[in-house]
Amino acid sequence: MSANPSATLNVPEVSKPVTLPTMPGSLGPKVLDIRKLYAETGMFTYDPGFTSTASCESKITFIDGDEGVLLHRGYPIEELAQKSDFMEVCYLLMNGELPNKVEKTEFVKNITYHTMVHEQISSFFHGFRRDAHPMAVMVGVVGALAAFYHDSTDINDPHQRLIASHRLIAKMPTIAAMAYKYSVGQPFVFPQNRFDYAENFLQMMFSVPCEEYKVNPILAKAMDRIFILHADHEQNASTSTVRLAGSSGANPFACIAAGIACLWGPAHGGANEAVLKMLEEIGSPDKVGEVVKAAKDKNSGFRLMGFGHRVYKNYDPRAKVMRETCNEVLDVLGKRDEPLLKLAMALEKVALEDDYFVQKKLYPNVDFYSGIILKAMGFPMSMFTVLFAVARTVGWIAQWNEMIEDPSQKIGRPRQLYTGAGKRSFVSLDKR
Ligand code: SDX
């Protein structure tokens, strides 16, 4: 028996059976290698939404949706969230191992000293309306970084890729905070090197020049943990967007801007904002039954935001940690009786006991509780997906670098099942 058994495919109109090798992973499902399928059969596979398709080989993140498992380079998300910090997780995702003391100090220094943005980027903001959605600003400004940092756009130079990676991880919080300050008409706040990553972000968001800003260590720890929970998640839509953009050789700033654009959708990273809007529209626990009924009615067009997941058919492990963090933050802020939390927990209870959700294995995902915490911390709803983008930048960067270093990598170019018109001749206007 060969190490990796093959599959044999009998294809209509193809005289001899096609042998397709299988490839095992270190964890999770094997893959059927179909790279020669079209050459040998003249047929494509058909998989809209890629529900059964592995787009690449990766060593970064493993998800077992049935068991509710999420590992980053083998480490369970629950352990990283409880015992590590976001800078260590960034290093782990990018390098494959947790940093030792020297490596961590060097990495944190590299990120810290890239947090400022080119001063002309500040004037860039003044082209936007004050009421622009901050995700629109993020897409524009992050894409424009390629116009300022020409010395880190050559994707074939590992050193330039590393500098661009550090710049993006470091500058995303600065740009995000600038987008918020611009929207509320307050002056931009410079990063301060004495703060750690999460503290720096909070002070750039919430400090004002008129008084000294005191970072609340519990909120900073919660912020850091929220960044960890959002850092990477295998080949999700926005990560696949970054990989596809990167496969053409586009510069890292353009690729991350593409990821931000994709994350914005309410089916993806925009769900945290959509969850809070949904909870505010529901208003009170006595309307939960009606909402769950609507979510089960295909004709309603309504879905329970923050519920369901393409991969998790069990509780999203991040949602569990997020719910614990939610309770901690609300306790610290004296908002334990936050009506939205009580409403969310009532909604979760009803949904998890409902046959529809049980049968379809719809559980709360990472977005279900995050909005409640972020609102309690003082972030406006429009900033929720921006925070997701800040945290996910390291995942996009790690996956983008892995793709570029993958020897089997080539430009992504899917095919299609064509069901349009057959070949026909042009008809002049007077004959139509
Ligand atoms: C994120 O991919 C990632 O890893 C993403 C993410 C990450 O970290 O990158 O985890 C972050 O995007 C989390 C998901 C946030 N989105 C939402 O909370 C929006 C609400 N959820 C859904 O729209 C939906 O669950 C998706 C988009 C998340 C997943 O959709 P799928 O896998 O394509 O599943 P589907 O749409 O085929 O649904 C399967 C069935 C359908 O019913 P049937 O047609 O089979 O009868 O479940 C139903 C759906 O109608 N369904 C829901 C539902 N989600 C799915 N019904 C009611 N409410 C929901 N939320």
The DSSP annotation for 133-185 comes to: -HHHHHHHHHHHGGGT-GGG--TT-HHHHHHHHHHHHHHHHHHHHHHHHHHHT
Does 2 score more than 60 pLDDT? Answer: no
pLDDT level of residue 352 (50, 70, 90 thresholds): confident
Asked whether the whole model's pTM tops 0.85, one would answer yes
Told to judge if 268 belongs to the known catalytic residues of this protein, a careful annotator would answer no
- Token readout for 127 is 């082209």
Contact indicator for 131, 206 with CB cutoff of 8 Å: no
Q: Atom 12 (ligand 1): residue with closest C-alpha?
A: 268
Does 13 score more than 90 pLDDT? Answer: no
Say if ligand 1 is within 6 A of residue 236 CB. yes
**Distance of alpha carbon 432 from alpha carbon 428, whole angstroms:** 7
Q: Atom 55 (ligand 1): residue with closest C-alpha?
A: 308
- Mean pLDDT for 29-35 is 96
Does 18 score more than 70 pLDDT? Answer: yes
Choose the catalytic residue: 85, 316, 354, 367: 367
Say how many Å lie between the CA of residue 224 and the centre of ligand 1.
27
Residues 6+ apart with CB under 8 A from 132: 183
- Mean pLDDT for 150-170 is 95
**Distance of alpha carbon 88 from alpha carbon 97, whole angstroms:** 9
- Nearest-Å Rg of the Cα atoms of the chain is 24
Say if ligand 1 is within 6 A of residue 362 CB. yes
**Distance of alpha carbon 361 from alpha carbon 351, whole angstroms:** 11
Say how many Å lie between the CA of residue 7 and the centre of ligand 1.
31
The best mutation among 233, 293, 309 to test binding of ligand 1, ranked by most ligand atoms within 8 Å of the C-beta, falls on 309
Distance of alpha carbon 379 from the chain centroid? 19
Q: What is the pLDDT of residues 188-236, one digit of tens each?
A: 999 999 999 999 999 999 999 999 999 999 999 999 999 999 999 999 9
- Mean pLDDT for 426-431 is 97
Q: Atom 15 (ligand 1): residue with closest C-alpha?
A: 268
Told to judge if 367 belongs to the known catalytic residues of this protein, a careful annotator would answer yes
Q: Which amino acid, one-letter code, is at 46?
A: Y
Choose the catalytic residue: 114, 233, 309, 354: 309
Position in ligand 1 atom list of the atom nearest CA 365: 13
Q: What is the mean pLDDT of the chain?
A: 94
Say how many Å lie between the CA of residue 363 and the centre of ligand 1.
10
Looking at residue 341, what is its pLDDT?
Answer: 86
Looking at residue 12, what is its pLDDT?
Answer: 84
Among candidate residues 397, 387, 398, the one with its CA nearest the CA of residue 138? 387
Does 276 score more than 90 pLDDT? Answer: yes
Residues 6+ apart with CB under 8 A from 432: none
Classify 334 in phi/psi space as left (phi over 0), alpha (psi -120 to 50) or beta.
left
- Mean pLDDT for 233-248 is 98
Looking at residue 150, what is its pLDDT?
Answer: 87
Higher-confidence position of 138 and 332: 138
